């Protein structure tokens, strides 16, 4: 063997570099081919990677076992993997793993399932059960044995026996039949003039078959979805695939339903709650180009699309696009990178675009399509502030008198109200009334949150759960625990007491998290089976409630505290979004914001509907402070079980910090969550001028210091979480 048969193969494992293999019997191979290779004493899938390896002595190099019969990983996706690994400082193989989340799905034949139809007429003992089965099989051929047994109310054994006897014929068919392709010829709604103009621009961007980014900005209800569907139709017309990213699984069902109505056929969903078989089938359909439209969560971005023609990032400002574990990345930003590498259009849609995207518009990097008004007669809701300094609330009560009045009026009018509080559970803090001891998570520097529904206390950071103890662990007092502050469950309790006649429902990510559960709740809202909906941010996003006319924000100040440089921006976005739920179609809406800080720029801007004024002020402030989008940030978080060791490592790292013009390193400092999952945490923050290559600076910095192996390091480029 000559070294020239040696190739690089990247494995979907947390390895920084591809390994070297010989082509062996498998050749010829080209980059992108999916292959099976030996690794240790196992067999793994891998992807033939670009570039030539440093030649190794042939005896040291193992041979590729086989080339798999699978669509290759495209050059654009390979470049994306390398780029994301470089940008986020993660091993290349860990990024490849995100492209192949079900590695075998692409290479193995699709799973089959058995379906039944009537067989030949045979001599056999008849029975009422058997007759019923045969009759149903004749009426509804194509049921599986279990389905047929269920339909005939018999055991599966009865059905299997009939198969064995030949009275039923069993056929093997693919377990997942792809739905028909969406029909781009179908007309959408007749667009108004501004919508039509925006849609024409987006269609042209797709037809150009070149990289472009368009920020599609429009108030809630302006018709952004209708407009980007036009771009979707354009991509489908060209026979290409479309990816629509959503920030929350919770939004998928509504989005899928709406898509099907528009295009007459379903899109494919992709999210973490899908069953494994469904995921594998979807990945296969994506890789083979059968899945024309995928509606999914951020993880759908890295999948191996056969021919991607358009990416839509809906609610582009949403922080849920940031993946905070493993490979830490922002799917909105990486969608732009992918679009660039693929040479395609990307649409970023939002009612409250991120400052990053708005800044790119002003730098003329992104096109801007604006829908300034709600479609048709719908107007934006009126927003009033309830000044909690004047409207004093009784202890442990959270619904002020003006809000109570508004709710009563709304419900009496036969309309719906929503109470928004971005806090799950019953109460965020439980303390002992005798000694003041606060119930804390044993693994985290965080209070335990009471969840009455489940009769437990929960840590919202590590998932720790326990019963409420019988006695105070500190002073031993019994039955003296006091719940402090509200969560949605407690708010619902108060609402139920105040409005005994009203029908109430609570929606939070722990009470409704599957698309089906959310779908049911939305249907109940639409059918007017609910008068008052109490919810966390899960109700704030995207949903369309035709009869909702009142939104009460229980604690408008909640997101403003803390060290997050985006706190004001985020609160503004969230409250704009939740306010946008009120009043659509012919029912004008109203919003009440309960606040202790009515003069705060965010709260004041909301009540004046002064979006532009808020953005301008916030931009100026960020520019002054050199914060994103005018500067760059990266965080390094060190953690370990030995606090002194972590602190020492953080000091060592700080001493080696990069210096130079445009670079500042803040910290080390204990993280706000300085103890998490049993580990002590120290943070360092790198602030850099825009033109600085931050990943490169980070790479040099961290490679200059060898950390003790017990200290774990996480690098977060463009951080969104400052906990």
**Three-class secondary structure of residue 662 per DSSP:** coil
Residue 353 tokens read as 């675009």
Other C-beta atoms lying within 10 Å of the C-beta of residue 616: 11
Q: Decide if 228 contacts 349 (C-beta within 8 A).
A: yes
Shortest CB 542 distance to ligand ADP, Å:
7
The secondary structure element, H or E, covering residue 35 is strand 34-39
Shortest CB 229 distance to ligand ADP, Å:
8
β-pair partners for 231: none
Among 90, 92, 194, 195, binds ligand ADP (CB under 6 A): 195
Q: Which CA distances in Å does 589 have to 142, 388, 406?
A: 50, 22, 11
Cβ neighbours of residue 71 closer than 8 Å, sequence gap 6 or more: 106, 287, 288, 289, 304, 306
Residue 692 tokens read as 């600085």
Judge residue 667's burial from the number of C-beta atoms within 10 Å of its C-beta, 0-12 exposed, 13-18 middle, 19 or more buried.
Answer: buried
The smaller minimum CB distance to ligand ADP, of residues 189 and 690, is found at 189
The smaller minimum CB distance to ligand ADP, of residues 158 and 222, is found at 222
Residue 462 touches which member of ligand ADP, Zn ion, none, C-beta under 5-8 Å by kind: Zn ion
Judge residue 26's burial from the number of C-beta atoms within 10 Å of its C-beta, 0-12 exposed, 13-18 middle, 19 or more buried.
Answer: buried
Cα distance between residue 297 and residue 174, in whole Å: 26
Judge residue 156's burial from the number of C-beta atoms within 10 Å of its C-beta, 0-12 exposed, 13-18 middle, 19 or more buried.
Answer: middle
Residues in contact with Zn ion, counted by CB under 5 A, come to a total of: 7
Give the distance from CA 693 to its chain's centroid: 28
Among 84, 143, 380, 444, binds Zn ion (CB under 5 A): 444
Contact between 140 and ligand ADP (CB under 6 A)? no
Residue 647 touches which member of Zn ion, ligand ADP, none, C-beta under 5-8 Å by kind: none
Contact between 416 and ligand ADP (CB under 6 A)? no
Among 370, 462, 468, 627, binds Zn ion (CB under 5 A): 462
Cβ neighbours of residue 319 closer than 8 Å, sequence gap 6 or more: 566, 570, 720, 721
Contact between 72 and ligand ADP (CB under 6 A)? no
List the one residue out of 716, 721, 719, 722 whose CA is nearest residue 88: 716
Contact between 381 and ligand ADP (CB under 6 A)? no
Name the segment binding ligand ADP (CB under 6 A); options: 105-113, 224-232, 441-449, 653-661: 224-232
Contact between 456 and Zn ion (CB under 5 A)? no
The smaller minimum CB distance to Zn ion, of residues 462 and 471, is found at 462
Q: Binders of ligand ADP among 348-377, rule CB under 6 A? A: 375
Q: DSSP state, 669? A: E
β-pair partners for 70: none
β-pair partners for 349: 216, 314
Residue 444 touches which member of Zn ion, ligand ADP, none, C-beta under 5-8 Å by kind: Zn ion
Among 461, 480, 609, 713, binds Zn ion (CB under 5 A): 461
The smaller minimum CB distance to Zn ion, of residues 438 and 651, is found at 438
Residue 530 touches which member of Zn ion, ligand ADP, none, C-beta under 5-8 Å by kind: none
List the one residue out of 719, 643, 717, 653 whose CA is nearest residue 681: 643
Shortest CB 460 distance to Zn ion, Å:
8
Name the segment binding ligand ADP (CB under 6 A); options: 215-223, 292-300, 305-313, 412-420: 215-223
Note if the bond before 668 is cis, omega within 30 degrees: yes
Name the segment binding ligand ADP (CB under 6 A); options: 146-154, 220-228, 270-278, 601-609: 220-228
Q: Binders of ligand ADP among 535-554, rule CB under 6 A? A: 544
Q: Decide if 148 contacts 137 (C-beta within 8 A).
A: yes
Contact between 573 and ligand ADP (CB under 6 A)? no
| Phi and psi angles of residue 688, each rounded to the nearest 5 degrees, phi first | -135, 155
| Phi and psi angles of residue 605, each rounded to the nearest 5 degrees, phi first | -65, -40
Among 226, 315, 333, 342, binds ligand ADP (CB under 6 A): 226
The smaller minimum CB distance to Zn ion, of residues 65 and 445, is found at 445
* Strand pairing report for 345-350 and 308-314: parallel
| Phi and psi angles of residue 497, each rounded to the nearest 5 degrees, phi first | -70, -40
Residue 191 touches which member of ligand ADP, Zn ion, none, C-beta under 5-8 Å by kind: ligand ADP
Among 221, 309, 515, 589, binds ligand ADP (CB under 6 A): 221
The smaller minimum CB distance to Zn ion, of residues 299 and 721, is found at 721
**Three-class secondary structure of residue 344 per DSSP:** coil
Shortest CB 675 distance to Zn ion, Å:
9
Shortest CB 311 distance to Zn ion, Å:
36
Q: DSSP state, 437? A: P
Among 46, 223, 353, 719, binds ligand ADP (CB under 6 A): 223
Contact between 723 and ligand ADP (CB under 6 A)? no
Residue 488 touches which member of ligand ADP, Zn ion, none, C-beta under 5-8 Å by kind: none
The smaller minimum CB distance to ligand ADP, of residues 140 and 189, is found at 189
Contact between 583 and ligand ADP (CB under 6 A)? no
Shortest CB 252 distance to ligand ADP, Å:
15
Cα distance between residue 411 and residue 398, in whole Å: 19
Shortest CB 374 distance to ligand ADP, Å:
7
Residues in contact with ligand ADP, counted by CB under 6 A, come to a total of: 15
Shortest CB 244 distance to ligand ADP, Å:
12
Among 192, 404, 647, 721, binds ligand ADP (CB under 6 A): 192
Judge residue 120's burial from the number of C-beta atoms within 10 Å of its C-beta, 0-12 exposed, 13-18 middle, 19 or more buried.
Answer: exposed
Among 90, 194, 214, 220, binds ligand ADP (CB under 6 A): 220
Shortest CB 465 distance to Zn ion, Å:
10
Q: Binders of Zn ion among 413-442, rule CB under 5 A? A: 441
Give the distance from CA 160 to its chain's centroid: 43
Q: Decide if 96 contacts 45 (C-beta within 8 A).
A: no
The smaller minimum CB distance to ligand ADP, of residues 225 and 357, is found at 225
Name the segment binding ligand ADP (CB under 6 A); options: 117-125, 185-193, 275-283, 532-540: 185-193
Residue 459 touches which member of Zn ion, ligand ADP, none, C-beta under 5-8 Å by kind: Zn ion
Contact between 224 and ligand ADP (CB under 6 A)? yes
Give residue for tokens 């931050």: 694
Residue 541 touches which member of ligand ADP, Zn ion, none, C-beta under 5-8 Å by kind: none
Contact between 668 and ligand ADP (CB under 6 A)? no
Contact between 253 and ligand ADP (CB under 6 A)? no
Residue 620 tokens read as 């100026």
Q: Decide if 236 contacts 287 (C-beta within 8 A).
A: no
Other C-beta atoms lying within 10 Å of the C-beta of residue 623: 13
Cα distance between residue 139 and residue 386, in whole Å: 63
What is the DSSP secondary-structure string of 502-515?
S-EEEE-TTTS-SH
Cα distance between residue 28 and residue 10, in whole Å: 17
Contact between 225 and ligand ADP (CB under 6 A)? yes
The smaller minimum CB distance to Zn ion, of residues 464 and 679, is found at 464
Beta sheet of 268-270, edge-to-edge order = 268-270, 293-296, 241-245, 308-314, 345-350, 212-218, 367-371
Among 106, 244, 457, 459, binds Zn ion (CB under 5 A): 459
Contact between 274 and Zn ion (CB under 5 A)? no
Contact between 201 and ligand ADP (CB under 6 A)? no
Query: Which residues are near ligand ADP by CB under 6 A?
Result: 189-192, 195, 218, 220-226, 375, 544
Contacts with Zn ion, residue ranges (CB under 5 A):
441, 443-444, 459, 461-462, 464
């Amino acid at each position: 063997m000559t070294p020239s048969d040696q190739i690089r193969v990247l494995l979907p494992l947390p390895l920084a570099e591809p390994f070297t293999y010989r082509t062996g019997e498998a050749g010829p191979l080209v980059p992108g081919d999916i292959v099976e290779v030996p690794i240790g004493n196992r067999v793994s899938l891998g992807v033939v990677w670009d570039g030539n390896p440093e030649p190794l002595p042939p005896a040291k190099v193992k041979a590729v076992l086989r080339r798999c019969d699978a669509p290759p990983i495209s050059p654009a996706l390979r470049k994306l993997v390398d780029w994301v690994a470089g940008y986020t400082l993660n091993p290349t193989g860990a990024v490849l793993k995100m492209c192949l989340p079900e590695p075998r799905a692409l290479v193995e034949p699709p799973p089959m399932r058995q379906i039944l139809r009537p067989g030949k007429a045979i001599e056999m003992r008849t029975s009422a059960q058997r007759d019923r089965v045969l009759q149903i099989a004749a009426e509804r051929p194509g049921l599986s044995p279990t389905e047929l047994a269920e339909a005939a109310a018999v055991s599966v054994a009865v059905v299997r026996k009939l198969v064995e006897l030949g009275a039923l014929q069993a056929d093997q068919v693919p377990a997942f039949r792809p739905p028909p392709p969406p029909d781009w010829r179908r007309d959408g709604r007749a667009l108004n003039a501004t919508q039509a103009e925006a849609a024409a621009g987006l269609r042209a961007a797709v037809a150009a078959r070149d990289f472009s980014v368009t920020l599609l900005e429009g108030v809630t209800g302006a018709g952004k979805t209708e407009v980007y569907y036009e771009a979707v139709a354009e991509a489908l017309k060209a026979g290409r695939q479309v990816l629509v990213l959503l920030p929350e699984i919770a939004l998928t069902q509504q989005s899928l339903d709406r898509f099907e109505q528009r295009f007459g056929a379903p899109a494919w969903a992709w999210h973490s709650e899908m069953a494994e078989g469904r995921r594998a089938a979807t990945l296969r359909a994506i890789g083979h180009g059968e899945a024309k439209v995928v509606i999914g969560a951020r993880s759908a971005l890295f999948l191996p699309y056969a021919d991607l023609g358009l990416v839509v990032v809906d609610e582009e400002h949403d922080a849920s696009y940031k993946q905070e574990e493993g490979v830490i990345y922002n799917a909105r930003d990486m969608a732009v990178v992918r679009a660039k590498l693929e040479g395609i259009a990307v649409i970023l849609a939002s009612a409250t675009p991120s400052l990053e995207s708005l800044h790119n518009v002003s730098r003329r990097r992104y096109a801007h399509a604006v829908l300034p008004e709600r479609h048709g007669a719908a107007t934006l809701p009126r927003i009033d502030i309830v000044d909690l300094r004047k409207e004093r609330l009784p202890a442990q009560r959270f619904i002020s008198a003006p809000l109570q009045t508004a709710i009563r009026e709304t419900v009496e009018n036969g309309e719906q109200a929503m109470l928004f509080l971005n806090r799950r559970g019953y109460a965020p803090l439980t303390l002992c009334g005798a000694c003041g001891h606060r119930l804390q998570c044993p693994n985290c520097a965080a209070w335990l949150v009471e969840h009455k529904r489940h009769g437990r206390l929960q840590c919202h950071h590590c998932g720790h759960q326990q019963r409420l103890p019988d006695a105070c662990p500190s002073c031993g007092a019994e039955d003296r625990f006091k719940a402090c502050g509200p969560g949605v469950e407690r708010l619902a309790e108060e609402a139920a007491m105040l409005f005994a006649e009203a029908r109430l429902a609570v929606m939070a990510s722990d009470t409704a998290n599957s698309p089906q559960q959310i779908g049911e709740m939305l249907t109940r809202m639409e059918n007017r089976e609910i008068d008052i909906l109490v919810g966390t941010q899960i109700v704030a996003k995207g949903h369309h409630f035709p009869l909702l006319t009142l939104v009460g924000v229980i604690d408008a100040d909640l997101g403003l505290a803390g060290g997050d440089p985006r706190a004001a921006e985020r609160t503004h976005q969230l409250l704009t979004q939740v306010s946008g739920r009120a009043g659509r179609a012919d029912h004008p809406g109203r919003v009440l914001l309960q606040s202790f800080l009515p003069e705060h720029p965010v709260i004041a801007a909301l009540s004046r509907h002064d979006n532009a004024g808020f953005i301008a002020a916030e931009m100026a402030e960020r520019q002054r402070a050199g914060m994103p989008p005018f500067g760059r940030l990266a965080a390094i978080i060190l953690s370990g079980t030995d606090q002194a060791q972590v602190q020492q490592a953080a000091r060592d790292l700080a001493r080696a910090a990069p210096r130079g013009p445009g670079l500042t390193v803040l910290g080390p400092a204990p993280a706000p969550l300085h103890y998490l999952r049993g580990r002590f945490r120290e943070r360092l923050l790198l602030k850099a001028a825009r033109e600085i290559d931050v990943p490169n600076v980070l790479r040099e910095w961290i490679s200059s210091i060898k950390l003790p192996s017990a200290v774990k390091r996480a690098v977060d480029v463009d951080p969104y979480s400052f906990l």
